[in-house]
C-alpha cells in the first residue's frame, strides 16, 4: 500500500482537503497532528498514516468507490448537466489526480459504477482484455419475439459499424418485455445496440453487477469505499 512521505501542504492538497496556498489557514482551523502532536507548519513532512485531521485518519491515498448511479447524471468532468462526481464529498472532487469513472453509463442508465483515482486499476478494468462481466436488467419497448437468447449466445451478432461480431452473451427472460443480460465487453451503447439489431428498443437500463461489485446495501446516489 502507498504511504507517501510528503510535505503537509502538498499532501493535504492532493487529497482535496485544501489548496497548497490554504495550508497555513487549514492548519489553524483544523486539528492536524503528526503522530498525535498538533502541528502548524505546512512545510513539515510526514508519512500518510502518521497524519490525522480532527483526530480522524486521512482519506486513502488512492480512492476507489462503488456508486449506485441514478438516472440523469453524466459520467463526465466537463459536459453540461448533473455530473456524477457531484454525488461525492466535495473534498473528493478536489483530489489530484482526479477521480474518474471506470467506463461510463449513459445519462439515463442506472446502477453500479466504479469511480477511482487509481489509473492503473482503471486501465486494468477497462482494457478489452479484462473480460469483466457486466450484468444489466433491461426493459424493452416491445415483447420479446423468442429468438434473442439464441442470437446473443451465438457469438455471430455483428453490430452496425463494427468489424467483429460480439462475444457470446447470456440472456435471461424475466418477463415478456424485461430481461437480464450478461456481457463481457463494453462497446459503445452495447446493450441498446444489441436489442436494436433484433428489432427492439431499450426503454430502461439498469446495471446490477460490474465484475465482483454489486449494489448490495446501496440506495440510488449512495456509495461505499472499497478497500
Beta carbons of 70 and 220 less than 8 angstroms apart: yes
Q: Which of 49, 59, 106, 214 is catalytic?
A: 106
Distances from the Cα of 108 to the Cα of 16, 111, 187, 218, angstroms: 29, 10, 17, 18
Q: Does residue 47 sit in helix, strand or coil?
A: strand
Catalytic-residue membership of 49: no
**Helix spans in the chain (H):** 8-14, 23-29, 90-93, 119-126, 148-153, 190-197
Pick the closest to residue 168 from 149, 155, 156 (CA basis): 155
Residues classed as catalytic: 106
Amino acid at each position: 500500500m502507498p504511504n507517501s512521505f510528503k510535505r503537509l501542504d502538498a499532501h493535504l492538497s492532493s487529497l482535496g482537503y485544501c489548496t497548497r496556498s490554504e495550508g497555513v489557514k487549514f492548519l489553524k482551523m483544523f486539528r492536524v497532528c503528526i503522530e498525535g502532536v498538533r502541528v502548524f507548519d505546512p512545510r513539515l513532512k510526514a508519512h500518510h498514516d502518521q497524519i490525522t485531521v480532527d483526530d480522524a485518519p486521512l482519506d486513502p491515498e488512492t480512492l476507489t468507490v462503488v456508486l449506485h448511479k441514478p438516472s440523469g447524471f453524466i459520467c463526465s468532468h466537463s459536459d453540461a448537466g448533473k455530473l456524477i462526481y457531484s454525488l461525492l464529498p466535495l473534498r473528493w472532487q478536489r483530489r489530484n489526480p482526479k477521480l474518474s469513472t471506470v467506463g461510463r453509463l449513459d445519462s439515463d442508465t442506472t446502477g453500479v459504477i466504479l469511480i477511482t483515482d487509481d489509473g492503473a486499476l482503471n486501465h486494468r478494468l477497462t482494457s478489452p482484455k479484462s473480460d469483466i462481466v457486466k450484468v444489466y436488467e433491461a426493459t424493452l419497448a416491445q415483447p420479446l419475439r423468442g429468438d434473442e437468447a439464441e442470437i446473443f449466445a451465438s457469438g455471430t451478432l455483428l453490430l452496425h459499424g463494427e468489424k467483429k461480431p460480439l462475444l457470446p452473451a447470456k440472456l435471461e427472460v424475466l418477463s415478456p418485455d424485461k430481461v437480464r443480460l450478461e456481457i463481457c465487453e463494453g462497446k459503445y451503447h452495447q446493450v441498446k445496440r444489441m436489442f436494436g439489431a433484433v428489432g427492439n428498443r431499450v426503454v430502461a437500463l439498469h446495471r446490477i453487477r460490474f465484475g465482483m461489485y454489486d449494489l448490495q446495501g446501496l440506495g440510488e446516489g449512495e456509495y461505499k469505499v472499497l478497500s
